[in-house]
Structure 1
Amino acid sequence: MAGRREPPLMRTGLGSGQPPSRGSRIAAAVAVGVTLGCVCAFLYPDGLISRSTDSALHWRRRADSVTCETSEEVTNLQSQLASLERKNADFRKQINELSMKLQLAGQGKNQALYSAGPFGTVKALRTNPTVMPDDSTNPRLAKILQHVAVKKEIIVAVANSNVKETLGMWFTNIKRVGITNYLVVALDDSIENFCKSKDVPVYRRDPDEGIDSIGKTGGNHAVSALKFRILREFLQLGYSVLLSDIDIMFFQNPFDHLYRDSDIESMSDGHDNMTAYGFNDVFDEPSMGWARYAHTMRIWVFNSGFFFIRPTIPSIELLDRVAGRLSREPKSWDQAVFNEELFFPSHPGYEGLHASKRTMDIYLFMNSKVLFKTVRKSAQLRKLKPVIVHLNYHPDKEARMKAVIEFYVHGKQNALDHFPDGSE
């Protein structure tokens, strides 16, 4: 039988003595081409034909175009840069506002867990964040505050025609000290005109039926109750307010002596360290026998006629609570309500206010009981210069105010001597 014959391609190739096939010649040509290409790429990285002339021409054209730019184009670029910077500032502001919204929205929610530090190093937060200013609350007042306030802080007094003479003494002393960031909220036309004639910053509220009738004709307590509603607008606009009654004499700039670490920073009606800053008062009930002694914590009230209030959520809630109660309880004393809302703790049926508070130094922010009962009788304390003196304990205000000015401003050492400790 004849043997099996191999296909032609299997019988050709190197070493076979047969000439290379057509496929082998193509493969060899491709290999040689690739090799030559690699060699040329290595020896002539910029190509076999020089492009230096084209490159020089290209860069010359670029240089010519730069030199042809006009000053108008440069100005346009600078304008665009300034616009981008403003947009960037707006973006940062929006980010801050969104961050504040998240922070305020998270109040009262346990959104994060914190690790306590070593023993003795743990310290809770003291200062609540301020609210976002809302100029739409009162655009006219916002415009006034932009010109009068300093560092978003301002002294505010509320007055009607019943206290015109005392008001004059009040702003005269403020001017003497050199304080510029103060504002009188006028409750009637007479006070508005009086302030304008004395070059005193004044704000006349828009007509408000009901409130206006109280403001125009009401006495000290009625007007004092109104201030809690009025102050709310200042806080909504993002301003911290140092509320001042007009029976107060200024001898230093109070803004130099504030801590700003609390929602409310108030002067005290206390007359010494214990009554002003708090003490442990032991109540004795003999009928209880072994348990006859009960310890109580005591503090004399904050004075609602002079306090610094920051634009925070707890501060606005305090103003709302006090104003709401006074509208429902017209016979209540505003200072009593102010302290009850500020200090009463949460208990069954009542949710207390979560506001931080600080008592002012009683010898810098001095009430008239401290002055007439203690300070004027002490050789050492007489040398101290208070920030303010508040004639809150005495009804003969104008006579004592004039005497206080004589004592602290004109150095008349016996100016206070003829007054009794209390009122006659």
Structure 2
Amino acid sequence: MVGRRDGSLMREKGQSFCGSRVTVAIAMGILLCCVSVLELLYPNGLFSSDPPPWLQKFWRTDRQTDSSSCKSQERANALKQGQDNAPKQFPVLGQQHKAGPFGTVKGLRTNPTVLPDESVNPRLAKLLKEIAIGKELIVALANSKVKDMLEVWFTSIRKVGIPNYLVVALDDEIAEFCKLNEVPMYKRDPDQGIDSIGKTGGSIAVSGLKFRILREFLQMGYSVLLSDVDIVYLQNPFDHIYRDSDVESMTDGHDNQTAYGYDDVFDDPVMGWSRHIYTVRIWVYNSGFFYIRPTIPSIELLDRVAGRLSEKPYLWDQAVFNEELFFPSHPGYEGLHAAKRTMDYYLFMNSKVLFKEVRKDDAKLSQLKPVIIHVNYHPDKLPRMKAIVDFYVNGKKDALQPFPDGT
């Protein structure tokens, strides 16, 4: 009895197993048929953003102009373009090399300079050959609104003995003023857009012009130390420049952290265990004093900044300058591949460092000899510039004392 029951049970299990195999085979066949049908109906994939051909005529017209779909397609196109362009850039970098032993590998820091093209401005090219030393010079833009500061500026340059400097005169009054004082001067050919801003524009508008004007200097193969006129020169800056980067700029920072970068912790209590987020921060480069080499990334930087300022003239040129230098590549945006160096903030000093810190420390004040001092943090620029000259050049020990730390 027991044996018969076991045997029938085995037969039942065998029949059930065979039935299961048949069911699985039928299911697999149906699944394969479905896949084949889907491939015919959706040749671009089931999850493609584009409709299958058979459905396109029924597709809603508003779907074609959906903003999210357009943006997704734009991001995809931008990503593909970036992926395609990256390999093409490798041959430009030069010969391939094997990596050396651990701790000995260093990346390229200095981009090659462009081939000089003097045809872009023969008149300026002739002038630069007479003024520049080692294919580099100081350049400042000025209109009649800053004439008094300009005089302090070029007087300090002469006192130091710097011969390679040039004033780009933005109006006739400054051009005549430079001629009377035997200051090297260049006045551009008439340009309606630049002329109107140069003659009547405020400090921010005039500051934005430099990115367009400097392009010709770089195209002709000259390195430029761009200088605002609210700067006092105490040493020759060309003796303190590294020339290993596309852009070498003074900083608005006032200590090692703010000038050269620091780790800043952001606290988000809602996240609990992961509430502390580490960020890297740096105070901005000052767009009123920077050294720029004639390289492709440098010219691209000028083009980017000038382009954005022409589209949105209300933007601050210093903010745009830093965004283009530091923002990394990300979806929909390709960052600038330019090498950067931050200048020593005690040598290339801003007025916050001088008036808030250095002048209160007798040891630092007596030991430090800045290369330049930029009165960028204070609106009373002319009297502070004269006080700096009195203290560092004329030896008047109390010249810096009457001024407040801030404004």
TM-score band by shorter chain is: 0.7 to 0.9
Matched, 1:392 2:370: no
Identity of aligned residues (%): 72
2:267 to 270, 284, 291: 284
Q: Output the CA distance in 2 between the equivalents of 1:200 and 1:407.
A: 25
Instruction: Give the Cα–Cα distance (whole angstroms) in 1 for the partners of residues 101 and 326 of structure 2.
Output: 31
Distance 2:241 2:160 in 1: 17
CA distance in 1, matches of 2:181, 2:332: 51
Tell me which residue corresponds to 2:72: none
Q: 1:414 aligns with which of 377, 392, 398?
A: 398
1:183 aligns with 2:166: yes
Aligned to 1:333: 316
Counterpart secondary structure, 1:295? strand
- 178, 194, 214: which one aligns with 2:177: 194
- Aligned partner of 1:312 in structure 2 is 295
Pick the structure with greater CA Rg.
1
Residue by residue, what CA displacement relative to the aligned partner does 1:384-408 show, whole Å, maximum 9, x if unpaired?
Answer: 1100000000000011111111111
Q: Deviations over 1:199-222 (max 9, x none)?
A: 000000000111110111101111
Q: 1:136 to 1:111 in 2, by over 3 A?
A: closer
Equivalent-residue separation in structure 1 for 2:338 and 2:263 (angstroms): 22
* Aligned-partner residue type, residue 409 of structure 1: V
The residue that corresponds to 2:198 in the other structure is 215
Provide the secondary structure at the position in 1 that maps to 2:298. Answer: helix
Aligned to 2:155: 172
The CA RMSD measured in Å over matched residues stands at: 1.2
In structure 2, C-alpha distance between the alignment counterparts of 1:107 and 1:371, rounded to whole Å: 44
Deviation of 1:237 (Å): 0.6
Q: Which amino acid aligns with 2:128?
A: L
Give unpaired runs (5+ residues) of structure 2.
1-86
**Which residue in 1 is equivalent to 2:116?**
133
Per the alignment, in what secondary structure is the counterpart of residue 380 of structure 1? helix
Give the deviation of 1:258 after TM superposition. 0.2
| Residue number in structure 2 paired with 1:259 | 242
Counterpart position of 2:329: 346
CA–CA distance in structure 2, aligned partners of residues 349 and 211 of structure 1: 31
Q: Distance in 2 between matches of 1:107 and 1:378?
A: 51
Residue type at the aligned position of 1:350:
Y
Match of 2:7 in 1: none
**Structure 1 residue 248: Cα displacement:** 0.1
**Counterpart of 2:133?**
150
2-structure distance, mates of 1:220, 1:378? 33
For residues 369 and 295 of structure 1, what CA distance do their matches in structure 2 show?
27
Name which of structure 1's ranges 107-116 and 320-329 shifts more when overlaid on structure 2: 107-116
Structure of higher RCO (CA pairs closer than 8 Å, 6+ residues apart): 2
Match of 1:371 in 2: 354
Aligned to 2:212: 229
Instruction: Tell which deviates more after alignment, 397-406 or 304-313.
Output: 397-406
Q: Secondary structure at the match of 1:215?
A: helix
The C-alpha deviation readout for 1:182-236, integer Å capped at 9, x for no partner, is 0000011111110010000000000011111011110111100000000000000
User: How many angstroms apart in 1 are the aligned matches of 2:397 and 2:94?
Assistant: 60
User: 1:108, CA displacement in angstroms?
Assistant: 4.0
Which residue pairs with 2:305 in the alignment? 322
Q: What does residue 247 of structure 1 align with?
A: 230
The C-alpha deviation readout for 1:132-185, integer Å capped at 9, x for no partner, is 000101000000000000000000000111111111111011011100000000
CA distances 1:110-145 after superposition (whole Å, capped 9, x unpaired): 875421000000011100000000010100000000
Equivalent residues, number:
319
Tell me, in whole angstroms, the C-alpha distance in 1 between the residues paired with 2:173 and 2:401: 36
Are 2:258 and 1:275 aligned? yes
Q: Which secondary structure state, in structure 1, belongs to the residue aligned with residue 195 of structure 2? A: helix
